[in-house]
Chain A
Amino acid sequence: MLAYILRRIFQSAIVLLVVGLVAFSLFRFVGDPIDNMLGQERTQADVERLRETLGLNEPFVVQYAKFLGQAVQGNFGMSYRQGRPVAEILMERAPATLELAAVSGVLALSFGIGLGVFTAIRRDGFAANAIMTLSLIGVSLPTFLIGILLIYLFSVELGWLPSFGRGEVVDLGGWTTGFLTPSGLQALILPSITLGLYQMTLIMRLVRSEMLEVLRTDYIRFARARGLRDRAVHFRHALKNTMVPVITVTGLQLGSIIAFAIITETVFQWPGVGLLFINAIQFVDIPVMAAYLMLISVMFVGINLIVDLLYVMVDPRLRGDSARGH
């Protein structure tokens, strides 16, 4: 088991190296940061001097090696635009994104699994069919449109909820949280629904189809034949067996909630890392972009690792040690 985890961590490190390389080399094509930093009134000497200070004249491989060497020490360089350490800027922005992603993830998971089970058990019921039809909206409408529609309805027409920002936040030792103030909580509602709706409908449809599949199996028939209650059959026997594929997809989806919060953060002007990334692209702020991509890939890789470990927890057949005797 430990060997397995170590092997997975080693593989993860290789993935991160490759992602870093790809990200770093891509940025060579997004434009010259010097243009944005110096403006119109520059001389060729200024340009050369700045290139030299930023290390942009060195060969690509050297730049990448330096970047990696610094990155493992938690130093992602200075933002070209803000002139502050990237790590500091990211730390400042990360809580907003992580809180938003966490709320969206919880919403997506709880409603997705709950509704998925419901629509599978009441397969032919009116409510289940209505939910399935409505879920098409979640799957097919683009995120930004859902966000704009929600803003139009709840902020513009009804005036119930704020349309942008995080509201009041409380600083807890460097971590700013919106969970502790009423306005912070209110501000979370629309963005988290926007961000989580697609994942929720996806999880729901997946749980439903897996559940329908499992309900047809022999061991479910046998569980019924043993006189177990519907609740035990559905939740103890059936739901657990739907979990392996659900964990796979959910893990990847939670990763993408964090990674692609960009759109939601733009629509709601949410001060998270996604918005930071969009601004960094506009300014060709390479250190920020690189750090953001590295951060996201660390999260993806981490989530994948957790997913693999969850498989083993859920499915005893994947555990080497329990197969004793045969």
Chain B
Amino acid sequence: MAPVLSLRNLTVEIPTRHGVLRPVDSVSYDIVAGEILGVVGESGAGKSMAGNAVIGLLNRPARITGGEVWLNGARIDNLPPEGLRKLRGKRIGMVFQDPLTSLNPLLTVGDQIAETILEHLPVSRAEARERAIAALEEVGIPAARDRVDSYPHAFSGGMRQRVVIALALCAEPDLVIADEPTTALDVSVQAQIIVLLKRLCRERGTAVMLVTHDMGVIAEAADRVAVMYAGRLAEIGPVADVIQHPRHPYTAGLMGSTPGASQGQARLTQIPGAMPRLDAMPPGCAFHPRCPRRGPGCDIDPPPVRAPDARAACHYPLTVAEDVTA
């Protein structure tokens, strides 16, 4: 199956007075229709930046300096701004982190959904309104017909995130980029939102890039997971494999420090040190100063993604024999 989204060596750079920073460095991955790819990493690992690069909403002076972005077999990173604008909302939907701030407080939720529909689909105003009501019903807003003319402040946080999801999906996009969609929500609401997002995208065959730092969300929702570290892809693979049999030492460390991900373990471990700052990136593998498995060559060449299983970007990946759960 041809992937809906394909990143090929995507590189984003920010020129500064002290040199060029590279928040996203040669990242490649595919997402196929109906698949949810979890993108996980610490803050500053470049996971959101990659999502913003895909929809062309990087804040200046950050810009794509290398690699390609393909959407359904067409290259989109070199489109003019107007071309990208037409893709946004129509082919690529976006869900932001904080539902309290991502809706315009002065427009009714119905108006905001209808204006998005009118922008992208050839329908009348009345039809757009009907579709807005249907969209609200679909995301589980009770009494949608009565509430379509309410303003965002009349909704709770979880309900607003449902509205945001309705907005992201209202023009039937092929891809949804969900940037930390549950981080700002109550724990009790998080699961509902994830289940909703998962169900809607499954039904429509929408591909999802689910950016989060929450391994629990990944385990719950994603089919595959991409682990990012310091702007680079550390490891990518099916969720169960990556969680239970990590190949990259960073992933192994991440799992060891996540409650619940590593069953049967008495204590949570921690990875010594901190992720390097973008302006002080070590040579070679960015993780090697903190890596328990570093060896010759780690401080010279950044490793490509390779064996075993073509999953981890590591010179000395964990082997099957070392699996935590083995």
Q: Chain B residues with Cβ under 8 A from A227's Cβ?
A: 85-90, 116, 119-120, 171
Query: Scoring A residues 201 to 241 as 1 if CB is less than 8 Å from chain B, else 0, what string do you get?
Result: 00000000000000001110111111111001000110011
A225-B89, A325-B147 known; A315-B105 Cβ under 8 A: yes
Q: Chain B residues with Cβ under 8 A from A326's Cβ?
A: 154-156
Instruction: Tell me how far the C-beta of A322 lies from the nearest C-beta in chain B, rounded to whole angstroms.
Output: 6
Q: Does B1 contact A (CB under 8 A)?
A: no
Q: Are B150 and A325 in contact (CB under 8 A)?
A: yes
Instruction: Tell me how far the C-beta of B241 lies from the nearest C-beta in chain A, rounded to whole angstroms.
Output: 32
Q: Does A317 contact B (CB under 8 A)?
A: yes
Q: Are B106 and A315 in contact (CB under 8 A)?
A: yes
Q: Chain A residues with Cβ under 8 A from B151's Cβ?
A: 316-317, 322
Q: Does A252 contact B (CB under 8 A)?
A: no
Interface residues of B in 94-153 (CB under 8 A from A): 94, 96, 98, 101-108, 115-116, 119-120, 147, 150-151, 153
When the two chains form the complex, which single residue of B85, B101, B150, B168 contacts A322, counting CB atoms closer than 8 Å?
Answer: B150
Q: Are A225 and B96 in contact (CB under 8 A)?
A: yes
Q: Chain A residues with Cβ under 8 A from B119's Cβ?
A: 226-229, 232
Q: Chain B residues with Cβ under 8 A from A322's Cβ?
A: 150-151, 154
Interface size class of B (residues with CB under 8 A): 35 or more
Of all chain A residues, the one with the shortest Cβ separation from B111 is: A236
Q: Chain A residues with Cβ under 8 A from B94's Cβ?
A: 222, 225-226
Of all chain A residues, the one with the shortest Cβ separation from B167 is: A226
Interface centre among A222, A237, A240, A316 (most CB of B within 10 A): A222
Instruction: Tell me how far the C-beta of B185 lies from the nearest C-beta in chain A, rounded to whole angstroms.
Output: 15
Q: Are A241 and B156 in contact (CB under 8 A)?
A: no
Interface residues of B in 169-188 (CB under 8 A from A): 171
Q: Does B252 contact A (CB under 8 A)?
A: no
Q: Are B106 and A241 in contact (CB under 8 A)?
A: yes
Q: Does B164 contact A (CB under 8 A)?
A: yes
Interface centre among B87, B88, B171 (most CB of A within 10 A): B88
Of all chain A residues, the one with the shortest Cβ separation from B143 is: A325
Q: Chain A residues with Cβ under 8 A from B107's Cβ?
A: 236-237, 240
Q: Chain A residues with Cβ under 8 A from B89's Cβ?
A: 225-228
Cα–Cα distance between A232 and B150 once the two chains are bound (Å): 21
Cα–Cα distance between A218 and B96 once the two chains are bound (Å): 8
Q: Does B193 contact A (CB under 8 A)?
A: no
Q: Are B154 and A325 in contact (CB under 8 A)?
A: yes
Q: Does B57 contact A (CB under 8 A)?
A: yes
Q: Chain A residues with Cβ under 8 A from B103's Cβ?
A: 219, 222
Instruction: Tell me how far the C-beta of A100 lies from the nearest C-beta in chain B, rounded to whole angstroms.
Output: 34
Q: Does B211 contact A (CB under 8 A)?
A: no
Q: Chain A residues with Cβ under 8 A from B87's Cβ?
A: 227
A218-B96, A326-B154 known; A240-B106 Cβ under 8 A: yes
Interface size class of A (residues with CB under 8 A): 20 to 34
When the two chains form the complex, which single residue of B93, B147, B153, B164 contacts A316, counting CB atoms closer than 8 Å?
Answer: B153
Q: Chain B residues with Cβ under 8 A from A232's Cβ?
A: 115, 119
Instruction: Tell me how far the C-beta of A219 lies from the nearest C-beta in chain B, rounded to whole angstroms.
Output: 4
Q: Are B102 and A218 in contact (CB under 8 A)?
A: yes
Q: Does B197 contact A (CB under 8 A)?
A: no
Q: Does B55 contact A (CB under 8 A)?
A: yes
Interface centre among A221, A225, A323 (most CB of B within 10 A): A225
Cα–Cα distance between A323 and B105 once the two chains are bound (Å): 12
Interface centre among B101, B108, B155 (most CB of A within 10 A): B101
Q: Chain A residues with Cβ under 8 A from B167's Cβ?
A: 222, 226
Cα–Cα distance between A241 and B151 once the two chains are bound (Å): 14
Q: Chain B residues with Cβ under 8 A from A222's Cβ?
A: 94, 96, 102-103, 164, 167
Q: Chain B residues with Cβ under 8 A from A180's Cβ?
A: none
Q: Chain B residues with Cβ under 8 A from A316's Cβ?
A: 105-106, 108, 151, 153
Query: Scoring A residues 301 to 320 as 1 if CB is less than 8 Å from chain B, else 0, what string do you get?
Result: 00000000000001111000
Of all chain B residues, the one with the shortest Cβ separation from A222 is: B102
Q: Are A317 and B57 in contact (CB under 8 A)?
A: no
Instruction: Tell me how far the C-beta of B102 lies from the nearest C-beta in chain A, rounded to whole angstroms.
Output: 4
Q: Chain A residues with Cβ under 8 A from B156's Cβ?
A: 326
Cα–Cα distance between A223 and B115 once the two chains are bound (Å): 10
A218-B98, A322-B151 known; A224-B88 Cβ under 8 A: yes
Cα–Cα distance between A223 and B105 once the two chains are bound (Å): 12
Cα–Cα distance between A80 and B88 once the two chains are bound (Å): 72
A-B contact pairs, 20 of them (CB 8 A): A219-B101, A221-B96, A223-B104, A226-B119, A226-B167, A227-B89, A227-B119, A227-B120, A228-B115, A228-B116, A228-B119, A236-B107, A237-B107, A240-B107, A241-B104, A241-B106, A316-B108, A323-B154, A325-B154, A326-B155
Which residues in A have some Cβ–Cβ distance to B below 8 Å? 217-219, 221-229, 232, 236-237, 240-241, 314-317, 322-326
Other A-B pairs beyond A219-B102, A324-B150, 8, CB < 8 Å: A225-B88, A225-B94, A226-B94, A226-B168, A227-B171, A232-B115, A316-B153, A317-B151
Q: Which 6 A-B pairs have the closest CB atoms?
A: A227-B89, A227-B88, A225-B94, A226-B89, A218-B101, A316-B151
